Structure 1
């Protein structure tokens, strides 16, 4: 079937609707048919703009990046601003990324592995790498340092959104006490759950501090 173009519908409208619906139903419930219903169009109309669901997810991830970039610029943290201490830039970038991913239900899953559809991310990446290189990192170590924290942040939020409270659905997080009862014969594993699955804000900061300590050690080598 050849998709029919809907003159009143554009890519931005589809992405906005998809992000709204994502917050309601999560990634598993996000289908092109459901998005079409949200927009009051037939599903084939979406294929004029996106060849499949993955193409739409790529655009959704890119839009999350655009919004994060815009909010950072509004707060005075854009690439044109004086870079400051590399540690501050490094930590702030990852905290901002986490906050943006948490704005959407399953936001980290949508973002993970996406192929950005434009180059809106490039200026910020250039600026971040430049700060590290100005601090004495090589291009290779700067890239690895940045990508390690970037991967940590996305992975952490995937787990946080899967195991922590779900504010979009009004659900509580993982029952760590029930877990501890099941693991009564393994006290260290039982206690580890209280560390891993409670106070995700503190957990993120502690993990990020460990990443930063490793990066600092790398910089001294």
Structure 2
């Protein structure tokens, strides 16, 4: 994916080929491939080749590619630890958790847009949603408002991944035509970095919700 939020040196460890075939091994290899070549290039045959097994062998553990991607997505999103924030303001917790998940998803080209486009709510995503809504309600939003805040943030994130995907495909097309290619994660206006712009927008959104909550609390008093 173009414009990765954070380029990490680590890659997920791939189990040794002599390990018994399992869902865990299959997901680990798929996750590694997704990080290195992107979601669109990952196929069951390619995963099977990495594992040195037949594609049919995978189906005893994972029903199809969509199920495999769902398992990868669930693992990728499960990156926010349960912890006591000891009085940290709600908006800082929200920002930190949101960017932690965003950084992780952005390591896997194509996965962010896939997650945004699917109607499925993965177990880890559901836990994060409940945690976020609880955080917002504890801060003073009612349940409906908390759901709206969470929805807007997810929609904003989905828009970022969509723009990054479009940028990557445009760059790929230009490269195929042997045109001069500008890095898709760097926009041409003033050398703007797309991720920096994303963070700025996130901060604006959170600041707006802080102001709305403060105004609501003044009215209640």
For 1:22-41, what aligned pairs fall within 5 Å after superposition? 22-41=34-53
Report the equivalent of 2:62. Answer: 50
1:173 paired to 2:183 = yes
1:214 & 1:111 partners in 2: Cα distance? 26
**Deviation sequence 1:124-177 (CA, Å, 0-9, x none):** 4333222211221001101110121122123313423552699xxxx8523988
Q: Counterpart of 1:19?
A: 31
Selected match of 1:88 from 73, 92, 95:
92
- Tell me the distance in 2 between the aligned counterparts of 1:21 and 1:33: 12
**Is the 8 Å Cα contact of residues 21 and 30 (structure 1) preserved in structure 2?**
yes
Aligned residue pairs, count: 186
Greater shift, 45-54 or 206-215, is seen at 206-215
Aligned match of 2:129: 125
Residue 115 in 1 paired to residue 120 in 2?
A: yes
Q: Which moved more, 1:128-137 or 1:197-206?
A: 197-206
Given the superposition, is the C-alpha separation of residues 120 and 102 from structure 1 closer, same or farther in structure 2, using an over 3 Å criterion? closer
Pick one of 157, 178, 181 that aligns with 1:153. 157
> TM (normalized to structure 1)?
0.71
The 4+ residue runs of structure 1 with deviation greater than 6 A are none
> Per the alignment, in what secondary structure is the counterpart of residue 38 of structure 1?
helix
Give the root-mean-square deviation of aligned CA atoms. Answer: 3.0
Higher relative contact order (CA 8 A, sep 6+): 2
- CA distances 1:2-28 after superposition (whole Å, capped 9, x unpaired): xxxxx9211111111001111232222
Q: TM-score, normalised by structure 2?
A: 0.71
5+ residue gaps in structure 1? 1-6, 178-192
- Contact residue 89 and residue 128 of structure 1 kept, 8 A: no
